[in-house]
């Protein structure tokens, strides 16, 4: 079974959130249990401290521990009183901390005057702080309750003891932490625990600097108090409930996130399928300003390139078919005319056939060289050569053709400009360089009107050397100039197929210039026609 990217992302986010939630829940649970156990131990330590002080007081009153022996209710009363004093001490400390915090806060802001009106309100301190209700011992009620309790114990008078009496009836032994009292000889006095005392856990009860008893108040290794266990269970349940809600929220967020993030990805996937099936007009909307937006932009650029390439391929096939068909049609017509006896088979007919074959051969040669240039297989044999004679020889080869068409052909070389000792020796492929010049001159000859001018100039400067070819009317629209070096491109109005040529010469010229690390461009000429400007860097070509 294959899973989609939406489901994969949803599961990935959900599992990650689930692991985080469970880990946090477990960590919070451990932290709470350890912290709560520490709190219980601190609470019991305060209780033991209060119990030890109360036992010292009672020992001072009675002089021995006989008043506690075999009297568990009195022992539970002492435990209850110690626990009440411990809670009261804890509340007092918390109030002191809160009061100190409020004082620090009031020092930072002038709010005392706003709180002053609350100081006389019941339950509000002079600092404007509402205090929690305190657990206070009613001495009268405690005395009456204890007197009634002692009155029921044989041989004991209510006035014989100052033992504190709890505000309510003593609770059962299981409701107090296990505590055992031993006398100075470590003999049992009172206990509410079934465990045997341990010497390692004994704490001394001091009176007048003497040890008068021992307390076994071993701290809990685990939480055993019923209320504490209920509170712990409640907090644990709340923790897992929060974790469960977090998982549900994580699932919702993962679903929404998967839909939001993967929506543009799905659009890209669908667009890619359409593009792969040949629909090159497919585009993807962009506008998110993120990586997906950049990907959508790159996709649109790729689609544009493929659409242009497909259009160029179709145009190329149509143009090549037309260019090949024209000379073949002429050849076929000439041969049929000779075969039918319309034309005599003589030197004139052979010349006509030869010109058509030459045109067809030139077209095939240009196509072949361009294909080699595309794959980087067009061979170049660069050698040190003086380009001035090459330019001069190429121009001389066309002088008669230009003269026949009544077009002036001018050549300007560095030596003719009066410059002394200008070197024109560079690394070039002489054959390809001559081919470049002849293609450009042939193009000017073909498209320049009669009685026009073509001017060729060679210039050398410290940064490189350049060749400029200017011709006269007709000109070329400015928007068409960047396309002149594209294959099979021609301006239909002034430079059409009827003038001759297949539109491959300038494309081949650009390939030769680029192979010599140069640049070529077409611009409007001051003579009214086209200015072909070629420049070559001197670092890459000078001897």
Q: What is the pLDDT along the chain (543 residues), one digit of tens a residue?
A: 566 666 777 777 778 877 887 787 778 777 777 777 777 777 777 778 888 888 888 888 888 888 888 888 888 888 888 777 777 776 776 677 667 666 665 665 544 444 444 444 444 443 333 334 433 343 334 333 433 444 433 334 333 444 444 444 445 544 567 788 888 888 888 888 777 777 777 888 888 888 888 888 765 555 556 666 777 778 777 877 877 787 788 778 778 877 777 777 888 888 888 888 888 888 888 766 677 778 888 888 888 888 888 887 787 777 777 767 777 887 888 888 888 887 788 887 788 788 778 778 877 877 777 777 666 666 778 888 888 999 999 999 999 999 999 999 999 988 654 444 567 788 888 888 998 998 899 889 988 999 999 999 999 888 889 999 999 988 888 888 888 888 777 665 444 444 555 667 788 889 889 888 899 999 999 999 999 999 998 754 444
Residue 81 phi/psi, 5-degree rounding, is -65, -40
Give the whole-angstrom CA distance, residue 32 versus residue 232: 8
Residue 364 and residue 405 in one domain: no
Cα separation, 527 vs 470, whole angstroms? 7
Residue 280 maps to a domain? no
Answer whether 58's CB lies under 8 Å from 78's CB. Answer: yes
If one counts every other C-beta atom within 10 angstroms of the C-beta of residue 230, the result is 10
Q: Are residues 388 and 430 in the same domain?
A: yes
Within 10 angstroms of residue 523's Cβ, the number of other Cβ atoms is: 14
Q: Burial of 358 by CB count in 10 Å (0-12 exposed, 13-18 middle, 19+ buried)?
A: exposed
- Distance CA(189)–CA(51), nearest Å, equals 15
pTM: 0.46
What number of other Cβ atoms are within 10 A of residue 520's Cβ? 21
Q: Is the dihedral of CA 472, 478, 484, 488 positive or negative?
A: negative
Angstrom distance (rounded) from CA 51 to CA 262? 68
What is the spatial distance between Cα 240 and Cα 24, in angstroms, rounded to a whole number? 10
Rounded distance, CA 305 to CA 288, Å? 23
Give one DSSP letter per residue of 96-114, joined into a string: HHHHHHHHHHHHHS--HHH
For 294, the 3-state DSSP assignment is helix
Q: Are residues 398 and 365 in the same domain?
A: no
| Token code pair at residue 215 | 């307390």
For residue 191, the SS3 value is strand
Q: What is the pLDDT of residue 216?
A: 80
pLDDT at 424: 78
Q: Are residues 360 and 411 in the same domain?
A: no
Do residue 471 and residue 525 come from a single domain?
A: yes
- Please indicate, yes or no, whether residues 530 and 424 belong to a single structural domain of this protein: yes
Is residue 418 within 8 Å of residue 424, measured between CB atoms? no
Alpha carbon 254 to its chain centroid, in Å, reads 17
Q: Which of 386, 408, 388 is nearest to 398 (CA)?
A: 408
27 within some domain = yes
Instruction: Give dist(CA 207, CA 57) in Å, integer.
Output: 8
Q: Using CA atoms, how far apart are residues 292 and 263, in angstroms rounded to an integer?
A: 10
pLDDT at residue 43, rounded to an integer: 73
Is the sign of the CA dihedral 534, 538, 539, 540 positive or negative?
positive
CB atoms within 10 A of CB 5: 13
Of the residues 153, 171, 189, the one at which a domain ends: 171
Q: Is residue 426 within 8 Å of 543, Cβ to Cβ?
A: yes
Regarding whether 507 and 370 lie in a shared domain, the answer is no
* Whole-number pLDDT of residue 148: 44
Tokens 């010229």 -> residue: 509
Q: Is residue 534 assigned to a domain?
A: yes
Does 472 reside within a domain? yes
Question: Can you give the pLDDT at residue 407?
Answer: 93
Domain-located, residue 98: yes
**Statement to judge: residues 337 and 400 lie in one domain:** no
By the 8 A CB rule, do 239 and 26 touch?
Answer: no
Helices (H), ranges, 109-155? 112-115, 139-151
Closest C-alpha among 279, 69, 275, 286 to residue 189: 69
- Asked whether 211 and 205 are in contact (CB, 8 A), the reply is yes
User: What element of type H or E holds 428?
Assistant: strand 425-428
> Which two tokens mark 391?
């330019």
**Rounded alpha-carbon distances, angstroms, from residue 319 to 279, 422, 490:** 23, 45, 11
DSSP 421: S
User: Which of 258, 538, 278, 335 minimizes the C-alpha distance to 426?
Assistant: 538
- Answer whether residue 338 is part of any domain: yes
pLDDT score of 132 = 40
Within-domain flag for 269: no
Which residues span the domain enclosing 37?
5-107+134-171
Strand 180-183, strand 408-412: pairing? unpaired
Count each helix (H run) and each strand (E run) in the chain, helices first: 11, 11
Same domain, 363 and 440: no
The residue among 333, 352, 374 that closes a domain is: 374
| Domain termination residue (choose one: 346, 374, 402) | 374
Contacts (Cβ under 8 Å, ≥6 apart) of 534: 466, 467, 468, 513, 518, 519, 520
- Whether 196 and 186 have beta carbons less than 8 Å apart is answered as no
Asked if 337 and 402 sit in the same domain, the reply is no
pLDDT of residue 381: 82
- Domain count for the chain, please give it: 3
Residue 369 shares a structural domain with residue 467: no
Integer Cα distance of 234 and 228 in angstroms: 10
Q: Are residues 392 and 520 in the same domain?
A: yes
CATH number of the domain where residue 391 is located: 3.30.565.10
CATH of the domain at 339: 1.10.287.130
> What whole-number distance in Å separates Cα of residue 338 and Cα of residue 343?
5
Direct distance between the N- and C-terminal alpha carbons of the chain, in angstroms, rounded to an integer:
68
Domain contains 209: no
């Amino acid at each position: 079974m294959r899973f989609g990217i939406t489901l994969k992302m949803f599961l990935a986010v959900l599992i990650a959130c689930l692991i985080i939630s469970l880990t946090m829940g477990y960590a919070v649970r451990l932290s709470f249990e350890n912290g709560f156990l520490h709190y219980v131990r601190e609470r019991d330590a305060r209780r033991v401290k209060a119990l030890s002080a109360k036992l010292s007081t009672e020992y001072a009153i009675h002089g021995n521990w006989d008043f506690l022996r075999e009297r568990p209710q009195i022992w539970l009363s002492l435990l209850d009183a110690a626990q009440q004093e411990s809670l009261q001490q804890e509340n007092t400390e918390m109030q002191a901390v809160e009061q100190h915090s409020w004082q620090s806060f009031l020092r930072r802001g002038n709010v005392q005057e706003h709180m002053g009106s609350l100081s006389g309100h019941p339950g509000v301190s002079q600092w404007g702080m509402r205090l929690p209700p305190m657990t206070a011992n009613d001495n009268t009620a405690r005395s009456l309750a204890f007197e009634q309790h002692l009155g029921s114990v044989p041989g004991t008078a209510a006035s014989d003891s100052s033992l504190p009496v709890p505000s309510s009836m003593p609770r059962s032994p299981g409701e107090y932490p296990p505590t055992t009292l031993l006398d100075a000889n470590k003999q049992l006095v009172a206990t509410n625990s079934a465990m045997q005392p341990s010497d390692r856990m004994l704490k001394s009860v001091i009176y007048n600097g003497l040890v008068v008893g021992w307390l076994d108040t071993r701290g809990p290794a685990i939480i055993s108090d019923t209320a504490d266990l209920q509170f712990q269970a409640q907090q644990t349940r709340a923790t897992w409930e929060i974790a469960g809600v977090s998982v549900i929220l994580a699932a919702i967020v993962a679903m929404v996130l998967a839909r939001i993030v993967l929506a543009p990805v799905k659009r890209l996937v669908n667009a890619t399928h359409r593009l792969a099936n040949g629909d090159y007009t497919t585009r993807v909307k962009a506008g998110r300003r993120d990586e997906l937006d950049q990907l959508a932009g790159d996709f649109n650029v790729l689609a544009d390139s493929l659409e242009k390439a497909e259009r160029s391929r179709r145009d190329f096939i149509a143009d090549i078919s037309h260019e090949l068909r024209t000379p073949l049609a002429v050849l076929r017509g000439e041969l049929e005319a000779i075969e039918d006896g319309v034309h005599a088979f003589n030197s004139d007919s052979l010349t006509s056939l030869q010109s058509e074959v030459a045109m067809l051969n030139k077209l095939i040669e240009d196509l072949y060289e361009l294909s080699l240039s595309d794959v980087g297989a067009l061979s170049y044999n660069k050698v040190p050569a003086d380009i001035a004679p090459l330019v001069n020889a190429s121009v001389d080869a066309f002088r008669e053709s230009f003269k026949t068409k009544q077009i002036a052909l001018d050549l300007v070389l560095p030596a003719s400009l009066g410059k002394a000792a200008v070197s024109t020796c560079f690394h070039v492929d002489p054959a390809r360089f001559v081919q470049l010049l002849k293609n450009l001159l042939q193009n000017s000859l073909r498209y320049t009107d009669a009685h026009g001018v073509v001017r060729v100039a060679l210039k050398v400067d410290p940064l490189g050397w350049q060749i400029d070819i200017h011709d006269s009317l007709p000109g070329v629209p400015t928007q068409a100039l960047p396309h002149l070096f594209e294959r099979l491109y021609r301006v239909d109005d002034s430079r059409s197929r009827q003038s001759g040529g297949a539109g491959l010469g300038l494309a081949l010229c650009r390939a030769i210039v680029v192979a010599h690390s140069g640049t070529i461009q077409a611009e409007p000429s001051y003579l009214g026609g086209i200015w072909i400007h070629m420049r070559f860097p001197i670092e890459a070509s000078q001897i």
